[in-house]
Structure 1
Amino acid sequence: MKIILTQEVENLGAAGDVVEVKDGYGRNYLIPRGFAIRWTRGAQAQADSIKAARSARAVRDEAHASELKAKLEGAPVDVKVKAGQGGRLFGAVTPADIAAALGEAAGEAIDKRTIVLGNPIKALGNHAVSVKLHDDVSAAVALNVIPV
């Protein structure tokens, strides 16, 4: 079955890629979860628009990603959240919250989908977060979660 990915799928491809998968994998997993759509000539135009949007969001090249990595790894980034007794948070720190804080620290927008969290952040203190800036460049960022 030929499909067009609408999101990045690990070990398969990025958004906008046209890939060939087994029928059951496409029909029972990828398409119902919104990771892909069936390939048609009309859907190919949609794939082209997905690729254009992805390239507009992406960090332009590896050299720029390396510069951004140096900015992000330079100092810990503070994220201010509401917290209750004992340092427990109301909810969790989301990738969108982290992306906003990193964007302020770096001076440019960071896409929330590039942030990789090992476990949800539900407590105050220092945490490690990985940011995938480019295919070959990832930054390990020290995150300091503090109460408002």
Structure 2
Amino acid sequence: MTKLILTHEVSNLGEPGDVVEVKDGYARNYLLPRNYAIRWTRGAAKQVESIQAARSARAVHDREDADAIKAKLEAEPVNVSVRAGDGGRLFGAVTVGAIADAMNEATGSNVDKRRIDVGQPIKVLGAHEVTVRVHPEVTAQVRLNVVASK
């Protein structure tokens, strides 16, 4: 088993700043190459506080605020404009950053792109649905309209 400090949120494992023990292969082949975690050492353990402070600065602390943000996100579809070719095929895929920017512009709330789960990459125009984890207890299903930019 390898002891790691998470630097990003990993589903079913933990939040940034959490100290976890995982199997050697999972650490070596997945978490470390993608920079989702760093090896635990006494020196790195001192970074845990700064990682957790940054996480709490980005987090929505109050359940009522989270419910209000969820209501804004689910109220109406969010339009994301991207470059597209003939037949509605996109040049690449819609990025999570572009989705977060469109949500922030549409709702006026600050949605962190790390909390958006797209599922399969979005590569065609039209209506899509993504999940946003607003709060540990609150998730929002957001409808996206991917439209071609002019």
Same-fold call, TM cutoff 0.5 = yes
- In the alignment, residue 18 of structure 1 is paired with which amino acid? V
* 1:62 and 2:67 are equivalent in the alignment: no
Q: 1:21 to 1:63 in 2, by over 3 A?
A: same
Q: Which residue in 2 is equivalent to 1:42? A: 43
Which aligned pairs between 1:58-97 and structure 2 lie closer than 5 A?
58-97=59-98
* 1:51 and 2:52 are equivalent in the alignment: yes
- In the alignment, residue 112 of structure 1 is paired with which amino acid? K
Instruction: Tell me how far apart the structure 1 counterparts of residues 75 and 30 of structure 2 sit (CA, whole Å).
Output: 41
- In the alignment, residue 119 of structure 2 is paired with which amino acid? G
**TM-score for both structures, normalised by structure 1:** 0.90
DSSP-derived class of the 1:92 partner: coil
Q: Which residue in 2 is equivalent to 1:113? A: 114
Q: 1:43 to 1:121 in 2, by over 3 A?
A: same
Residues 39-78 of structure 1 deviation map (CA, whole Å, 9 limit, x = unaligned): 2222122111111111111112221111000001001111
Q: Which residue in 2 is equivalent to 1:15? A: 16
Instruction: Tell me how far apart the structure 2 counterparts of residues 91 and 3 of structure 1 sit (CA, whole Å).
Output: 34
**Aligned residues between the structures:** 148
Residues 85-111 of structure 1 deviation map (CA, whole Å, 9 limit, x = unaligned): 111111111110000000011102211
Q: 1:125 to 1:25 in 2, by over 3 A?
A: closer
User: RMSD between aligned alpha carbons?
Assistant: 1.6
Instruction: Tell me how far apart the structure 2 counterparts of residues 145 and 32 of structure 1 sit (CA, whole Å).
Output: 32
- In the alignment, residue 103 of structure 1 is paired with which amino acid? N
Alpha-carbon shift at residue 28 of structure 1 (Å): 5.0
Instruction: Tell me how far apart the structure 2 counterparts of residues 24 and 122 of structure 1 sit (CA, whole Å).
Output: 32
Identity %: 62
Q: Which residue in 1 is equivalent to 2:125? A: 124
**TM-score for both structures, normalised by structure 2:** 0.89
Q: 1:142 to 1:28 in 2, by over 3 A?
A: closer
Q: Which residue in 2 is equivalent to 1:147? A: 148
Instruction: Tell me how far apart the structure 2 counterparts of residues 85 and 4 of structure 1 sit (CA, whole Å).
Output: 46
DSSP-derived class of the 2:93 partner: strand
Alpha-carbon shift at residue 81 of structure 1 (Å): 1.0
DSSP-derived class of the 1:97 partner: helix
- In the alignment, residue 42 of structure 1 is paired with which amino acid? G
Q: 1:21 to 1:90 in 2, by over 3 A?
A: closer
Q: Which residue in 2 is equivalent to 1:2? A: 3
